[in-house]
Amino acid sequence: MDYLSKSGYAIILVEDDLALSKLYARILHMYGHDIYVMHSGDEFVKFMRGASLHRFDEHAQDLTYVALVDCNLPGISGDDAIAEARKTQDGDKVHYIGMSSLEENLPRFLAKGADKAVVKSDLGPQTLDQLIRAA
């Protein structure tokens, strides 16, 4: 990319439900965020283990990166994926938000290094954008 995100945020969306990932992506795009969509925990960890975030955006130092990570993913779970991502070269430059349909899963995210954990049903369009901007 050779432009700066309109919002100043780049979102790494990790969601295996294709319909839900499309919905979240549309909402995030509507608010001007750059979006990278992945559908498994393994794909997310591989992304984070790759070259630095500058590989994806020459303005990476000007962006705030936020990873929205689902709990139940194919391969490695969302909470374990966050723990692995934190260990990578740029792992400390990303704000991690765990998402689950069940409130009882939220402590797992926090125990593995998520900055926040939310119930998906609480994420309306404005709430989702506010959550990201508070990161």
Domains and CATH numbers, the chain: 9-16+30-64+71-133 (3.40.50.2300)
- Give the 3-state secondary structure percentages of the chain, helix then strand then coil, rounded to 5: 45, 20, 35
List, for residues 77-124, the tens digit of each pLDDT value.
999 999 999 998 888 889 999 999 999 999 999 999 999 999 999 988
Of the pLDDT bands very low, low, confident and very high (cuts 50, 70, 90), residue 1 is very low
Tell me which residue has tokens 């969601």.
15
Residue 34 above 60 pLDDT? Answer: yes
